[in-house]
Amino acid sequence: MTAPLGKDLLGLEQLTAGQINLILDTAVPLKEISERTIKKVPTLRGATIVNLFFEASTRTRISFEFAEKRMSADTVNVASAGSSVSKGETLVDTARNLEAMRIDMVVIRHPASGAAQFLAERIESNVINAGDGTHEHPTQGLLDLLTLRDHFGALAGKRVCLCGDVLHSRVARSNIWGLTKLGVEVAVCGPRSLLPNAIEDMGVKVFDRIEAAIEWADALNVLRLQLERMQAGYIPSLREYNRVFGVTRERLERAPRDVLILHPGPMNRGVEIDSDVADGPHSVILNQVTNGVAIRMAVLYLLSGNTPQLAEAAKGSA
Amino acid sequence: MSAARDLLFKGGRLIDPSSGLDGIGDLLVRDGKIESVGGAIAAPADATVIDCAGQVVSPGFIDVHAHLREPGREDVETIATGARSAAAGGFTAVCAMPNTDPVTDNQAAVGFVLKQGKAANAARVYPIGAISIGEKGERLAEFGEMVGAGAIAVSDDGKPVVSAQLMRTALEYARTFGIPVADHCEDPTLAEGGAMNEGLVSARLGLKGIPSEAEEIMAIRDILLARRTGGHVHLCHMSTRGSVELIRWGKDRNIRVTAEVCPHHLSLTEDEVEGYNTHAKMNPPLRSQDDVEALQQAVKDGTIDVIATDHAPHHYDEKEREFADAPNGIVGFETALAVNITWLVKPGIISVATLIDKMSCAPAKLFHLPGGSLRRGGAADITVFDPTREWKVEPSRFFTKGRNTPYTGRTLTGLVACTVVDGRIVHTVKG
Amino acid sequence: MPNSSSIVLSTRALERTVNRMADEIVERNDGTEGLVLVGIQRRGVQIAERIAARIEASEGVRVPLGALDITLYRDDLQTVGPRPVVGKTTLPIALDGLRVVIVDDVLFTGRTIRAALDELADFGRPARVGLAVLVDRGGRELPIQPDVVGTHVEAPAGARVDVFVKELDGKDEVVLTNGNHAGAAS
């Protein structure tokens, strides 16, 4: 039997393949709830969840909020800008305040890598990482896995290439860990200035040409190119980026097989991905959004059983 | 001012690399001076006798790189608490870096540090003046006046000297006064935003890395400028294999380059950052195992001249935050000896005598400071330590106000038993 | 006391019982018009399928069949430790105005049926909801009674009633086990 999840979901790096599959398997029946007229089950009735967003995010926050509400939890959204020393209260104070309010779960999005773990180590509530800096975005990684699994069935042996700004992408890191654990061959493709120096040591292949990546892959997960990266000088221009690395229909048509297209959103159409690809027949970008709610419901459900006392009791009886 | 009573150190192992001394014997201190060394010495009437059996009697340690935070951050450390902490670590003298608030960039500020140091009545405190006014990297500070007031070196530590022209001028101008220019080697454009060593760990944790080259590029620039100017450049807290190779290159050509390394860079790697441990955040960052080994060898073969702590206390809640936002630095005085013994002497990389050279004799010589020797007639700055005694690091028992150390809970080997400055006992451990 | 098992329904008996339940359901609902069978995950689903097959054989009508997983509606989720596995819920059609018969293997405390009623309510407003169970073992903790019962068993609190079905367990059988510890299945 697979070990249940721990108290928190901080990243996919720490999870086993069994735990990842448990989340995916749990998400599958939960998809049906969102198809009902009354899109709500009473599972988390009485549980209080705080969505703590220190960084602007529309789709992740909305997706979490739908998941929470469909599980009947009471939710509060807290949006706060920045984490810098000069602005407002520190994260540790925020943590203490949340603890004092006896909340059950915290969903945290934060610009600093490690912020979710920092919080998790200081409060008893379950903590779900909704993206920390350039570290991980585990629920995005999981929904990408579910979308791929829905399409391919078994994932082992499939080839997935992450395209674009891997250096600054928490989505890329979560994907790399999740995919490799499930036996998928992973590659990255992007300008070397946007790839971590040590990327090959993370067990992935590197393509310098998007054409070669397309020829190799069963699926492309096209990462969002943050426009700030250009201003920071990592690439000379968006125009050139699209010319060299853009996922275009012309390039896909030359591929030996149909290549599935994923994008975590929001998209820069005409930069990293062309519109006719994003809206094309092999795009599963909207399936990703649908799966996002189910994945987050599954994570909420699975973590809600892991209050520390119960986990202890469960250990004793096992 | 003189000590009222004579001190007789009885039966210890006397080690003084500056005079080649290494043997069991007694040492007598009178009027703040070393009166006699070696052999059996009968205790004079009224003398305080210190039983040193099983202990090493060494010239007092000298730390050429410390941050005492006063003036400006007295909540974090004062010169008094810093000097006391230093004494507890066996240091009889420490050099205070000028990156305080205000910066030690003029003779009055130098005088203030000196005055507070004397009042501390613990380890001696020597001020290091700033290279540039306000450490802004623009205009040279008044080296002449600062040296006149007691500064023993100049440095803009905490920041690199970005302008090569300013560094060149500083080396030339410092040469006039016979003082070293200590540089914090870091190319700011490469290091910007970095929080740890660049490598697999930084890639995994999603933390911006600081590449080795950020240090090495500045190290070779400084070495080349020392060659051009004939000035003495002292490279602070070296952390990479590449830096070691560049220093070796400079020394092979008789360029006046000296270098220091910190105990943490000789013992710990970037793996300590795992779990976003802010107590492992420092600048330069903890590097790879390969770098640690290169630095250890460089201490052994003399490429690195001195071991300095870069003692950098922070308030506990400053470290209690997101990794990228946490300040750099760890406290160093009270763990330095034990870390060095545990990671260098115990595994047989260097001898106790070599360690004493790196912590006492060499710093005195390079920075032209008193001490660093057990020679008869010299200042009685002496450290007695037990090189085999194990102890557990408990920051709550530190004398420094800082608690920020990655060694918490570790058992280390080597304990300071007694520290004597100017013939007076400033620190002693019972039992 | 060591565990002692006895067979409540053999393979043949189980088949006869299910057939009788099917007939009774048709009778009570005055035919198959607007009838929907909803099996509770897991073994209620297989029992419901057999009832549907029997109805089809006798009436010539295939009644719509659904499956209900009540895990997310359980009232003991806060105390069971690691989360139970969630099964599939599939309902063939909107339930408004229909006659729904919930089918389960064993009726014990009634809590599962309470959860099933709550869940059904989220799918619409049936004209009538009935309950058919293969085994009623007594021990109710809620005011819930079945309309159609395959067989009654007097099972003490510590005993277990296990229903085995060919599709999942390789055999058709109902077994009563008297034991010292509380049973898991029902």
Whether the CB of A76 is below 8 Å from some CB of chain C: the reply is no
- Taking CA–CA distances from B327, the nearest residue in chain A reads A85
Residue A81: domain span? 17-136+292-306
For chains B and A, tell me whether 3 or more CB atom pairs sit within 8 A of each other: yes
Among B203, B322, B325, the residue with its CB nearest the CB of A196 is B203
3-state secondary structure of B196: strand
Mean pLDDT of A113-123: 94
CA distance B25 to chain A (A): 54
What residues in chain A have their Cβ under 8 A from chain B's Cβ atoms? 13, 83-85, 90-92, 110, 112-115, 117-118, 132-136, 170, 173, 196-199, 201-202
Q: Rounded to whole angstroms, how far apart are CA atoms A269 and A238?
A: 11
* Same domain assignment for residues A166 and A120: no
* Same domain assignment for residues A200 and A268: yes
DSSP letter string over B171-183? HHHHHHHT--EEE
* Same domain assignment for residues A234 and A152: yes
Q: What pLDDT is attached to residue A87?
A: 56
What percent of chain A stands above pLDDT 70?
A: 93
Cα angle for residues B315, B321, B322 (degrees, 5° grid): 145
Interchain proximity B203–A136, CB inside 8 Å: no
Q: What pLDDT is attached to residue B219?
A: 98
Q: What pLDDT is attached to residue A230?
A: 75
Q: What pLDDT is attached to residue B396?
A: 96
Among B203, B209, B322, the residue with its CB nearest the CB of A118 is B322
* Same domain assignment for residues A275 and A144: yes
Q: Which residues of B touch A199 (CB under 8 A)?
A: 203
For A17-59, write each residue's pLDDT tens digit: 999 999 999 999 999 999 888 899 999 999 999 999 998 888 9
Q: What pLDDT is attached to residue B270?
A: 98
Cβ A67 vs Cβ A139: under 8 Å = no
Half-sphere exposure of B367 (CA within 13 A, CB side): 38
pLDDT at A239 over 80: yes
- Taking CA–CA distances from A196, the nearest residue in chain B reads B203
* Residue A315 located in a structural domain: no
pLDDT at A88 over 80: no
Report the candidate in B427, B311, B306, B417 with the shortest Cα–Cα distance to residue B58: B417
**Which class is domain C12-155?**
alpha beta
Q: Rounded to whole angstroms, how far apart are CA atoms B159 and B137?
A: 9
Q: How many CB atoms lie within 10 A of CB A1?
A: 7
* Residue A3 located in a structural domain: no
pLDDT in tens, chain B (431 residues): 444 689 999 999 999 999 999 999 999 999 999 999 999 999 999 999 999 999 999 999 999 999 999 999 999 999 999 999 999 999 999 999 999 999 999 999 999 999 999 999 999 999 999 999 999 999 999 999 999 999 999 999 999 999 999 999 999 999 999 999 999 999 999 999 999 999 999 999 999 999 999 999 999 999 999 999 999 999 999 999 999 999 999 999 999 999 999 999 999 999 999 999 999 999 999 999 999 999 999 999 999 999 999 999 999 889 999 999 999 999 999 999 999 999 999 999 999 999 999 999 999 999 999 999 999 999 999 999 999 999 999 999 999 999 999 999 999 999 999 999 999 999 999 75
Q: How many CB atoms lie within 10 A of CB C29?
A: 17
Q: Rounded to whole angstroms, how far apart are CA atoms A272 and A291?
A: 23
Cβ C144 vs Cβ C161: under 8 Å = no
The two tokens of residue B97 are 């870096």
Interchain proximity A112–B320, CB inside 8 Å: no
Among A30, A304, A306, the residue with its CB nearest the CB of C86 is A30
For A270-311, write each residue's pLDDT tens digit: 999 999 999 999 999 999 999 999 999 999 999 987 654 444
- The residues of B annotated as belonging to the active site are 310
Q: Which amino acid is at A286?
A: L
3-state secondary structure of B399: coil
Interchain proximity A306–C82, CB inside 8 Å: yes
Q: What pLDDT is attached to residue A84?
A: 42
- Taking CA–CA distances from A302, the nearest residue in chain C reads C83
- Taking CA–CA distances from A315, the nearest residue in chain C reads C81
Among C87, C88, C123, the residue with its CB nearest the CB of A36 is C123
3-state secondary structure of A290: helix
Q: Rounded to whole angstroms, how far apart are CA atoms B252 and A169?
A: 45
The two tokens of residue B306 are 């001195």
CATH number, domain of A268, equals 3.40.50.1370
* Residue A9 located in a structural domain: no
Chains that touch C (3 or more CB pairs under 8 A): A
Cβ C41 vs Cβ C86: under 8 Å = no
Hey, what domains does chain B have and what are their CATH numbers?
7-57+379-428 (2.30.40.10), 60-366 (3.20.20.140)
Among A32, A38, A313, the residue with its CB nearest the CB of C89 is A32
Q: What pLDDT is attached to residue C184?
A: 44
For C113-160, write each residue's pLDDT tens digit: 999 999 999 998 999 999 999 999 999 999 999 999 999 999 888 899
* Same domain assignment for residues A93 and A182: no
Q: Which residues of C touch A304 (CB under 8 A)?
A: 77, 83
* Residue A313 located in a structural domain: no
Q: Rounded to whole angstroms, how far apart are CA atoms A158 and A225?
A: 25
Whether the CB of A45 is below 8 Å from some CB of chain C: the reply is no
Cβ A158 vs Cβ A152: under 8 Å = yes
Q: Rounded to whole angstroms, how far apart are CA atoms A122 and A49?
A: 17
Q: What pLDDT is attached to residue A315?
A: 41
CA distance A305 to chain C (A): 5
For chains A and C, tell me whether 3 or more CB atom pairs sit within 8 A of each other: yes
* Residue A316 located in a structural domain: no
Chains that touch B (3 or more CB pairs under 8 A): A
The H or E element that residue B364 is part of is helix B362-366
Which of A10, A12, A197 is best to mutate for the B interface (most B CBs within 10 A)? A197
Q: Rounded to whole angstroms, how far apart are CA atoms C148 and B284?
A: 78
For C3-56, write each residue's pLDDT tens digit: 789 999 999 999 999 999 999 999 999 999 999 999 999 899 999 999 999 999
The DSSP letter of residue A248 is -
State residue B155 phi and psi, 5-degree precision.
-165, 150
* Same domain assignment for residues A143 and A197: yes
* Residue A231 located in a structural domain: yes
The two tokens of residue B216 are 């090495």
* Residue A184 located in a structural domain: yes
* Same domain assignment for residues A162 and A94: no
Q: Which residues of C touch A71 (CB under 8 A)?
A: 72
What residues in chain B have their Cβ under 8 A from chain A's Cβ atoms? 198-200, 202-209, 211, 275-276, 317, 320-325
Among B202, B204, B322, the residue with its CB nearest the CB of A115 is B322
Q: What pLDDT is attached to residue C176?
A: 94
Mean pLDDT of A168-176: 97
Interchain proximity C119–A41, CB inside 8 Å: yes
What pTM, to 2 d.p., does this model score? 0.91
Average pLDDT, chain A: 91
Q: For chain C, what are the domain ranges?
A: 12-155
Report the candidate in B82, B86, B8 with the shortest Cα–Cα distance to residue B46: B8
Q: Which residues of A touch C45 (CB under 8 A)?
A: none
Interchain proximity A314–C81, CB inside 8 Å: yes
Q: What pLDDT is attached to residue A108?
A: 96
The DSSP letter of residue C93 is S
CA distance C150 to chain A (A): 30
Domain count along chain A: 2
Q: How many CB atoms lie within 10 A of CB B37?
A: 23
Q: What pLDDT is attached to residue A2?
A: 65
Q: Where are the alpha helices (DSSP H) in chain C?
A: 11-28, 43-59, 111-121, 166-169
Whether the CB of C34 is below 8 Å from some CB of chain A: the reply is no
Interchain proximity A197–B275, CB inside 8 Å: no
Beta-carbon contacts of residue A174 (< 8 Å; ≥ 6 apart): A11, A12, A136, A137, A138, A140, A141, A142
Which is more confidently placed, A168 or C183? A168
Q: What pLDDT is attached to residue B1?
A: 43
The two tokens of residue A106 are 């915290």
CA distance A4 to chain C (A): 6
pLDDT at A93 over 90: no
Residues making up chain C, counted from first to last = 186
